[in-house]
């Protein structure tokens, strides 16, 4: 098997709106749709569609939403045999407000997700896998997973999100030390580096963080990565965005897929940008493309993968 993904599994409710309501104001919803969510779970589906063997480890409540979320992962070929069931707590739910230009705002109820503890991360659940992806800002889970990765000889990637970035540079430096790939978006990078400019932020973090590859997504401007030798920026593909939810998870899965295939830095960024570009043209966090779709898209533009 290839990848174990650790983190949140949610049920997402999407409300497409033309504007946000003010105090005591009502705004008509243009469209409503639902689907699975949670960064680690989204990564799992995207990675499976790209041809990787994937196991997801997280926690859900003993409720219909939890079972529905697990059923969706199973249908995508993701192994959910070690997902924890938490009694007396509802499964995670996220309300996603989507603007017509695809930009999103989210309200998160973590619920049963918080029931996942370091004690749940036992070596038996990871043995036989060559990579661990951590989509969580919980330092106790990250540190435990790092220990397991070292013991089984697996590589590790981390997408800690804003929750991790808010803990400050000193804590993040200690937590990510030795991790193979660290993903973050430009907002998180600027917050962590205390900079208003993404280029300055990336350059500072490249010096401060002891990781093998630092990857920062820049939205419509693409992504930049530093691998200890060079800082490389690759532009995004310009497609009309419908919903950007899950684009970062899709990007990370595509990057890891190319990493595990031994591709170079440019190929990893190019492929990940292409996968994310396809994803944002579709609604929902789990609308990531399959490997053949990404290859066909790149070949149609003259790229060879």
Q: Does residue 170 carry a pLDDT above 90? A: yes
- In contact, 228 and 219? CB cutoff 8 Å: no
Q: Does residue 86 carry a pLDDT above 90? A: yes
CA 146 to mean position of chain CA atoms: 18
pLDDT tens sequence across 217-259: 999 899 999 998 899 999 999 888 888 888 999 999 999 999 9
Q: In CATH, what number does 3-8+38-89+113-300 get?
A: 3.40.1190.20
- In contact, 152 and 129? CB cutoff 8 Å: yes
Q: Does residue 266 carry a pLDDT above 80? A: yes
- At 295 the pLDDT is 97
pLDDT tens sequence across 180-189: 999 999 999 9
**Number of residues assigned to the chain:** 305
Q: How many CB atoms lie within 10 A of CB 174?
A: 12
Q: With CA atoms as reference, report the closest residue to 145 among 226, 55, 73.
A: 55
Give me the half-sphere count of Cα atoms (radius 13 Å) on the Cβ side of residue 40. Answer: 32
Q: With CA atoms as reference, report the closest residue to 224 among 190, 198, 263.
A: 198
- At 1 the pLDDT is 81
Distance CA 24, CA 36 (A): 30
- At 20 the pLDDT is 84
Mean pLDDT along residues 113-132: 97
Helix (H, G, I), strand (E, B) or coil at 18: coil
Give me the half-sphere count of Cα atoms (radius 13 Å) on the Cβ side of residue 41. Answer: 29
Confidence of residue 304 (pLDDT cuts 50, 70, 90): confident
Q: Does residue 102 carry a pLDDT above 80? A: no
Distance CA 20, CA 34 (A): 19
Mean pLDDT along residues 171-175: 94
- In contact, 210 and 173? CB cutoff 8 Å: yes
- In contact, 36 and 9? CB cutoff 8 Å: yes
Least confident range of 70-79, 81-90, 97-106, 281-290: 97-106
Kind of pairing between the strands at 59-61 and 84-86: parallel
- At 79 the pLDDT is 98
Q: Does residue 119 carry a pLDDT above 90? A: yes
Query: Which residues are CB-contacts of 147 (< 8 A; sequence separation ≥ 6)?
Result: none
- Spell 182-196 as b/e; 16+ CB within 10 A means b: bbbbbebbbbbbebe
Q: Does residue 209 carry a pLDDT above 80? A: yes
- In contact, 252 and 183? CB cutoff 8 Å: yes
In percent, the amount of the chain with pLDDT more than 70 equals 100
Q: CA-CA distances (angstroms) from residue 250 to 236, 241, 304?
A: 14, 14, 20
Distance CA 165, CA 64 (A): 33
- At 36 the pLDDT is 87
Q: With CA atoms as reference, report the closest residue to 39 among 287, 249, 185, 245.
A: 249
Q: CA-CA distances (angstroms) from residue 25 to 19, 97, 103, 107, 269?
A: 11, 16, 21, 18, 43
Q: Does residue 117 carry a pLDDT above 90? A: yes
Computed over every residue of the chain, the mean pLDDT equals 94
pTM for this structure?
Answer: 0.93
- At 226 the pLDDT is 94
Mean pLDDT along residues 198-221: 92
Confidence of residue 164 (pLDDT cuts 50, 70, 90): very high
**Ramachandran region, residue 15 (left: φ > 0; alpha: ψ -120 to 50; beta: rest):** beta
Alpha-helical runs (H) found in the chain: 39-49, 64-75, 139-152, 161-165, 169-176, 186-193, 198-208, 247-260, 265-279, 291-300
Confidence of residue 214 (pLDDT cuts 50, 70, 90): very high
Distance CA 248, CA 183 (A): 9
- At 59 the pLDDT is 97
In percent, the amount of the chain with pLDDT more than 90 equals 83
Mean pLDDT along residues 92-97: 92
Domain ranges of the chain: 3-8+38-89+113-300
């Amino acid at each position: 098997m290839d990848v174990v993904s650790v983190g949140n599994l949610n049920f997402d409710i999407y409300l497409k709106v033309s504007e946000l309501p003010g105090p005591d104001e009502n705004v008509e919803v243009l469209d409503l749709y639902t689907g699975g969510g949670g960064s680690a779970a989204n990564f799992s589906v995207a990675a499976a569609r790209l041809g990787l063997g994937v196991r997801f480890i997280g926690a859900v409540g003993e409720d219909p939403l939890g079972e529905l979320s697990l059923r969706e992962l199973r249908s995508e070929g993701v192994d959910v045999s070690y997902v924890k069931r938490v009694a007396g707590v509802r499964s995670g739910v996220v309300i996603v407000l989507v603007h017509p230009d695809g930009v999103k705002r989210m309200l998160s109820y973590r619920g049963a997700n918080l029931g996942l503890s370091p004690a749940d991360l036992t070596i038996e659940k990871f043995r036989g896998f060559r990579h661990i992806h951590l989509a969580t800002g919980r330092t106790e889970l990250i540190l435990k997973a790092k220990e397991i990765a070292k013991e089984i000889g697996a590589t590790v990637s981390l997408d800690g999100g804003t929750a991790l970035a808010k803990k400050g540079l000193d804590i993040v430096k200690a937590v990510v030390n030795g991790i193979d790939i660290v993903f973050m978006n430009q907002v998180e990078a600027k917050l962590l580096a205390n900079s208003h400019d993404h280029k300055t932020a990336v350059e500072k973090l490249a010096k401060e963080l002891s990781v093998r590859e630092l990857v920062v997504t820049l939205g419509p401007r693409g992504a930049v990565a530093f691998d200890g030798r060079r800082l490389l920026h690759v532009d995004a593909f310009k497609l009309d965005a419908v919903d950007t939810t899950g684009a970062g998870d899709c990007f990370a899965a595509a990057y890891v897929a190319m990493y595990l295939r031994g591709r170079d830095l440019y190929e990893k960024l190019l492929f990940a940008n292409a996968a994310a570009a396809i994803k944002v043209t579709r609604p929902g966090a789990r609308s990531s493309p399959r490997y053949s779709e990404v290859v066909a898209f790149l070949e149609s533009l003259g790229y060879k993968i």
